[in-house]
Every structure is written in structure tokens, then in C-alpha cells.
């Protein structure tokens, strides 16, 4: 079992819609959870982190964490073509472990 698993995608959504990205992790002791965005040919950049159960909102992005279910998600509201990228879920245990990423395409 991989430490961090993401829905494989690719995910295609129309402009203005909500994109929903899911991530599950195996280490129940994981403390912190990060979402990174990676544009094609670029390095990953941090979108947001979450470490408490519940929702955390930052602009059009909302991260949701459920430690009992070992599940973290990212919602992108009012999706824009500029949101087209690969989104990486990362989980901290001893070290940061990354999922394989979900590629999102926002159709204009």
C-alpha cells in the first residue's frame, strides 16, 4: 500500500465549476497535510496546509481533513483555466510523503 494515494485523474472540469481532489494516507500518526500545485515543466509550489480536522479556506481553495478516515481533500471553487495543473497531496510523518498527483484541466 502506498503511503499517500490520490485519485488518478485526469480531471476535466468546465470553467466556473468546482474541482474536487481526494487523497488518502496510510500512516495514522501523520500530523500535517499539504497541497502543492505543479504547472507543466515547473516545480511544485505550496497552495495550503491543514493539520486540524475540518475545513480550511483560502480564497477559492478549501482543504478538508478527516483524520479518522485518513482522508484529505482539496476543493477548487470557480475553477479558472489558470488552475490547470497537477495537484500533489503531501503528508508529514517522519518525513513528507507525496502522492502521485492528480492532473486537472479547466475547460474554457
Partner 1 sequence: GAGVSQSPSNKVTEKGKDVELRCDPISGHTALYWYRQSLGQGLEFLIYFQGNSAPDKSGLPSDRFSAERTGGSVSTLTIQRTQQEDSAVYLCASSWGQGRTDTQYFGPGTRLTVL
Count of residues that bind partner 1 according to CB under 8 A? 21
How far apart CA 18 and CA 79 sit, in angstroms, is 6
Is residue 87 close enough to count as binding partner 1 by CB under 8 A?
Answer: no
Is residue 69 close enough to count as binding partner 1 by CB under 8 A?
Answer: no
Among 23, 65, 88, 91, binds partner 1 (CB under 8 A): 88
Fill in the per-residue mask, 6 to 45: x = in contact with partner 1 (CB under 8 A), - = not in contact: -------------------------xx-x-------xxxx
Q: Which CB atom, from 18 or from 46, has the smaller least distance to partner 1? A: 46
Q: Which residues of 68-91 are buried (b: 16+ CB within 10 A; e: fewer)?
A: eeeebbbbbeebeeebbbbbbbbb
Among 20, 26, 92, 105, binds partner 1 (CB under 8 A): 92
Q: Which residues form the interface with partner 1 (CB under 8 A)?
A: 31-32, 34, 42-46, 49, 51, 88, 90, 92, 94-101
Amino acid at each position: 500500500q502506498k503511503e499517500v494515494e490520490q485519485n488518478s485523474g485526469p480531471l476535466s472540469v468546465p470553467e466556473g465549476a468546482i474541482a474536487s481532489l481526494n487523497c488518502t494516507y496510510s500512516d495514522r500518526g501523520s500530523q500535517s497535510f499539504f497541497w502543492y500545485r505543479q504547472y507543466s515543466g515547473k516545480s511544485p509550489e505550496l497552495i495550503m496546509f491543514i493539520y486540524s480536522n475540518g475545513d480550511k479556506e483560502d480564497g477559492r481553495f478549501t482543504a478538508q481533513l478527516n483524520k479518522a478516515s485518513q482522508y484529505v481533500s482539496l476543493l477548487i471553487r470557480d475553477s479558472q483555466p489558470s488552475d490547470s495543473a497537477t495537484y500533489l497531496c503531501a503528508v508529514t510523518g517522519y518525513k513528507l510523503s507525496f502522492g502521485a498527483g492528480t492532473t486537472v484541466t479547466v475547460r474554457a
